[in-house]
Amino acid sequence: MLSASWRPAPGACLSGSSFPVIHAKGWCAQRSANMAASVSPLCSSFKLSSGVLQPSCHAKFRIFRKSSGLQRCFHQSAFSHTAMVISGKELARQIHKEVQCEMEEWVSLGNKRPHLSVIVVGDDPASHTYVRNKTRAAAALGISSETLLRPSSVSQEELLEMIYRLNRDWRVSGLLVQLPLPGNYLAGTLTVSVLLLPSSSRTEHINERAVCNAIAPEKDVDGFHIVNIGKLCLDQKSMVPATPAAVWEIIKRTEIQTIGRNVVVAGRSKNVGMPIAMLLHTDGRHERPGGDATVTIAHRCTPREKLKELTRLADIVIAAAGIPRLITADMVKEGAAVIDVGVNRIQDSETGKIRLVGDVDFEEVKKRAGFITPVPGGVGPITVAMLMKNTVTAARNTITD
């Protein structure tokens, strides 16, 4: 990250050759001396753009590093401070290019093209939308895929038998069952909401954990198998769940500092909140390097006033609770990085239409934060990109099968 003592001249551009342009507006007013080392001097909104330059196959994406040769253009702005808005779509494009390079190199060596199989149970519109996004991304990258549909009435035995068959199929590189399964929508949320689902759409007879553990660990592109979760907790290389991997990727690629910093993760789900906390607090010197941060996890039993007390001290706030606008401006320290994992469908009071919002009050929080991700267009696109990366990794894992 740029140090507080180094700033380019207004309007200056530093040329480079293999990295995208970062457009930024404005500089923050000088904050207190004790924050100078931790808060970027850049403020106002920015967008990562891949429209001019792209990373080569072997290039690592880095930003804000003085010595990287990154082309940067800074523009003076008279506007008041707003956070740097991190464009997940642009970061996802960068990851897609890297994955495509890796995959084409893999195929050029005579290996089969990666194949992703997705099992969808029931007719939940959100699940089908997520799966379409995944299969479209796969097709764009040259990864073959298939979607296998099963009704909500499917038995656990039938579902497990399908998984075992795909485990044995040498043509299948990666396998996932779209979660949550019908009847499991309440798992892992910060607060319990009542879902008015017809009895025919509930499948309490299916044990979600048993389904996740049935997938072969080497094909488990969601990273939910107990072996992969165990390796993650032990700082070993494993298939990291796509959403936590996306959060970690955002932090690394924007070089948000984590060592010794305070982090609050709002949400303790085993598929999102817990893995994010593990990635951020573990030792950076281990086989699977972590963030060396001091991490606090909040959940449904955390009183709101206590949550506010914790987030006001946090350098990084990660909202993964599934509660619309849980994090408000008065809960965020000036200059903090705020990453919004929440995807909530609410009815617009003016238009009456359904729209997506995150767990963060975006418009107000961005006036105080240093970095912020939007919803939609933030963590979501990078999650899909990381799933594609896991699929290519799975293809490498199954080479001897």
Q: Is the distance from CB of 141 to CB of 112 less than 8 angstroms?
A: no
Contact 391, 117 (CB under 8 A): no
Query: Which member of 25, 94, 124, 178 is catalytic?
Result: 178
The C-alpha atoms of residue 390 and residue 221 are separated, in whole angstroms, by 5
What's at 154, amino acid-wise? Answer: V
DSSP 272-311: THHHHHHHHHS-TTSSS-----EEEEE-TTS-HHHHHHHH
Omega within 30 of 0 (cis) for the link into 376: yes
DSSP state of 149: E
Task: Give the span between the Cα atoms of 13 and 19, in whole angstroms.
Answer: 13
Q: Is position 134 annotated as part of the catalytic site?
A: yes
Q: Which member of 25, 134, 219, 333 is catalytic?
A: 134
Helix (H, G, I), strand (E, B) or coil at 346: strand
Q: Where are the beta strands (DSSP E) in 323-391?
A: 337-340, 344-347, 354-357, 371-372
- The encoded tokens of residue 205 equal 């007879």
CA distances from 397 to 242, 265, 348, 385, 401 (A): 17, 31, 46, 19, 9
Two structure tokens written together for 5: 């003592």
47 part of the active site: no
Going by their DSSP bridges, the two strands 13-14 and 72-75 should be labelled as antiparallel
Pairing relationship of beta strands 337-340 and 144-150 according to DSSP bridges: unpaired
**In whole angstroms, what is the distance from residue 276 CA to residue 285 CA?**
18
Among residues 25, 97, 220, 222, the one annotated as catalytic is 222
The CA distance from 80 to 44, in Å, is 7
- Of 1, 163, 141, 165, nearest in space to 72 by CA: 1
DSSP 239-252: ---HHHHHHHHHHH
Active-site annotation holds for 100: no
Q: Write out the catalytic residue numbers.
A: 134, 178, 222
